[in-house]
Amino acid sequence: MGYALTSSQAPWLGVGHLRRREGGGGLPSSRNCGKIHLGLVHWRGFGLGEAQGKRCRTVVPRAAAGRGRRVATDRGEKGNFQFSDEQGSSLPLPVKQAASFLVPAGAFVAFSFVLWKVVESLLLPKPKGGSTATVEKKSAFPGMKWLVSPGSNLPSPSGLKIERESRQRLKEFAKELRTFQRVDMSGRNFGDEGLVFLAESLGYNQSAEEVDFSGNGITATGIKAFDGVLQSNFALKTLNLSGNAIGDEGAKLLSVILVKNSGIQKLQLNSTGLGDEGAKSIAEMLKKNSSLRVLELNNNMIDYSGFASLGSALLENTTIRSIHINGNYGGALGAASLAKGIEGNKSLRELHLHGNDIGNEGVRALMSGLSAHKGKITLLDLGNNDIGSDGAFHVAAFVKKTKSLVWLNLYMNDLGDQGATKMADALRENRTITTIDLGGNNIHAAGVTDIARVLKDNSILTTLELGYNPIGPEGVKALCEIIKFHGKIEILKLGWCQIGPKGAEHVADALKYNTTLNTLDLRANGLGDDGAVCLARSLRIVNEALTSLDLGFNEIRDTGAFALAQALKANEDISLSSLNLASNFLTKYGQVALTEARDHVYEMNEKELNIFF
């Protein structure tokens, strides 16, 4: 039995009519027995009767018969007949058409599926732990996963856009490096790859002198990009890498590079995760580098060992001028080790040791080294170091002896009244210090009274910080009686000193006569409206010196604001340019009154007065 499809019944397949033949001529040869030819598709199969070898099947292309033409004939050949579209069939025409297409197509799909499974089992072995629809493969790149599924590894449009924008920004940064002298790229978070791109712009660059790369996610890997670049750059003077977790390894790599650099004068490595090993590497660099003037290592994890390394480097270095080691863990031993290096160094001018917990013993060793120092120390920062009255004795001894110190910070220690008295005695003999910070030292009225007496004879001191000391009304009275007619104080800071409205009266009285004070800080003293009214009276009088008055956090309400506004209008020659009333209890009425007063001052004197609410 054989079949042939005609084009009239299966026009979409492009084959002939379905023919049925039994016996007789026209049977296909044995080579083609069991084949179905559907265009380019070949399918081999056998019917139910072929197991006995009696029948075979073939599809023979035939020309389509025209509609209305009788195709079926009886030529006397046994069982020889043909079907056309005019001849009826036991199945409806649409069913036959669908069957003639779906049977071979389904066979092809089944065969393709089996073939795909075979290939999949050979090329992609099933992972242990169960089957998954998508097979994940380990990537050579950390954080990336490659998936074996169509289109799964193609970058998303948003990812491509971000990458294009990042590259464009890096190109703009590189252009800045080649154009401007000062380039601030802090907080751009371009990471190690961005630094590699930008570092190339620094090679042989003669434009950029100050570059800020702080807070950009740079690690020790990125520091390698400077190798071969900084050695050839002679224009760059300042390099800021603060806020990047380069650690000890990054410090080691950078130190090796800077040994051969002769241009950089200021290196900032604050908050970079440096420890003793990193400090040791930097110390070795200092022994050989002859260009570095300022080194900042604030807020790291440098301990006694790192301080000792830096101290030994100071014995050999002859160019360093300023060292910042604030917020580390030097302690008393670290301060003592550093002091030995300072003693033999001639170039050091500024020493910043704020927040190292050196204590009384540490400050004793440090003052001993500074006293023997062969150079000229001009700035000394010892704030927040747990220094008590005993430590103040050693500091005072150095202050009496020094001929170069200009700026001294003892902020947030615990000197007390005894320590304040010792410092007052030292200031009586010292003729170089212009700025001293004694804030936050638990000094009361007795201690500040001793300091006030010194101001009568000291004409060098111009800036005095006494904030965060409970001196009260009596303490500020003693101070104001001196500065009313004596001294050369220009900046006086008395914030958080508990002076109250009574203390404001003494301050207001001093302002009527003082001719040197230009900046006065009275924040958070509980002045209230009464204190504001007292100060307003003094502002009515011509004071050509005072330019900045800070009254923030003083519980001043509209009554005090009205008094201040009237005083500003009344004084046509007022020199005040900044009035801070932030964090008080002013309503819109008080604010409007002060705003009108500000406008009046400008109209009358054409002077800008900034008022902050």
d(CA 284, CA 280): 6
Q: Which ranges constitute the DSSP H helices of 88-215?
A: 93-123, 157-179, 191-202
Helix or strand or coil: residue 280? Answer: helix
What percent of the chain clears pLDDT 90, i.e. is strictly above it? Answer: 62
Question: Mean per-residue pLDDT for 414-436?
Answer: 97
Q: Which residue in 572, 512, 513 sits closest to 536, CA to CA?
A: 512
Q: Residue 459: CB partners within 8 Å, gap ≥ 6?
A: 487, 488
Q: Residue 130: CB partners within 8 Å, gap ≥ 6?
A: none
Please say whether the beta carbons of 190 and 177 come within 8 A: no
565-596: b (≥16 Cβ within 10 Å) or e: bebbbebeebebeebbbebbebeeebbebbee
Residue 161 is predicted with a pLDDT of: 54
What percent of the chain clears pLDDT 70, i.e. is strictly above it? Answer: 72
Q: In the structure encoding, which two tokens stand for residue 184, read together?
A: 């601030």
Residue 20 has pLDDT above 80, yes or no: no
- Average pLDDT score over the chain: 81
Please say whether the beta carbons of 561 and 581 come within 8 A: yes
Could you tell me how far CA 388 lies from the centroid of its own chain? 38
Question: Mean per-residue pLDDT for 98-107?
Answer: 69
More confident of the two residues 526 and 190: 526
Residue 87 is predicted with a pLDDT of: 44
Instruction: Render pLDDT for 554-573 as a digit per residue (tens, 0 to 9).
Output: 999 999 999 999 999 998 78
Please say whether the beta carbons of 468 and 439 come within 8 A: yes
Q: Which residue in 504, 488, 484 sits closest to 551, CA to CA?
A: 504
339 to 61, 114, 179, 212, 469: CA distances (angstroms): 107, 83, 43, 31, 30
The helix (run of H) or strand (run of E) holding residue 492 is strand 491-493
User: Residue 147: how many CB atoms within 10 A of its CB?
Assistant: 12
Residue 59 has pLDDT above 90, yes or no: no
35-38 and 136-137 strand pairing = unpaired
d(CA 80, CA 73): 8
136-137 and 146-147 strand pairing = antiparallel
Burial class (CB in 10 A: 0-12, 13-18, 19+), 603: exposed
State pTM to two decimals: 0.73
Question: Mean per-residue pLDDT for 460-474?
Answer: 97
Q: What angle do CA 187, 191, 194 make, to 5 degrees?
A: 100
Residue 9 has pLDDT above 50, yes or no: no
Q: Kindly provide the residue ranges of all beta strands, DSSP E only, lying in 241-398, ordered along the sequence.
A: 266-268, 294-296, 322-324, 350-352, 379-381
Residue 110 has pLDDT above 60, yes or no: yes
Residue 97 is predicted with a pLDDT of: 66
Residue 298 is predicted with a pLDDT of: 98
Least confident stretch, 136-150, 161-175, 212-226:
136-150
Question: Mean per-residue pLDDT for 219-232?
Answer: 91
Residue 583 has pLDDT above 70, yes or no: yes
103 to 13, 50, 98, 109, 543: CA distances (angstroms): 13, 19, 8, 10, 107
Least confident stretch, 172-181, 503-512, 567-576:
172-181
Please say whether the beta carbons of 197 and 174 come within 8 A: yes
Please say whether the beta carbons of 72 and 87 come within 8 A: yes
d(CA 559, CA 549): 18
118 to 7, 112, 121: CA distances (angstroms): 37, 10, 5
Helix or strand or coil: residue 464? Answer: strand
Helix or strand or coil: residue 497? Answer: coil
Q: Which ranges constitute the DSSP H helices of 320-408?
A: 331-343, 359-371, 389-401
More confident of the two residues 42 and 499: 499
Instruction: Render pLDDT for 82-100 as a digit per residue (tens, 0 to 9).
Output: 444 444 445 455 656 666 6
Q: Residue 119: CB partners within 8 Å, gap ≥ 6?
A: none
Reported as a pLDDT band with limits 50, 70 and 90, residue 230 is confident
Question: Mean per-residue pLDDT for 167-176?
Answer: 64
d(CA 517, CA 26): 126
More confident of the two residues 32 and 605: 605
Least confident stretch, 32-41, 303-312, 511-520, 604-613:
32-41
More confident of the two residues 214 and 73: 214
Could you tell me how far CA 209 lies from the centroid of its own chain? 22
The helix (run of H) or strand (run of E) holding residue 137 is strand 136-137
Residue 10 is predicted with a pLDDT of: 40
Residue 135 is predicted with a pLDDT of: 38
Instruction: Render pLDDT for 256-276 as a digit per residue (tens, 0 to 9).
Output: 999 988 899 999 999 999 999
Helix or strand or coil: residue 232? Answer: coil
Instruction: Render pLDDT for 333-386 as a digit per residue (tens, 0 to 9).
Output: 999 999 999 999 999 999 999 999 999 999 999 999 999 988 899 999 999 999
d(CA 115, CA 249): 55
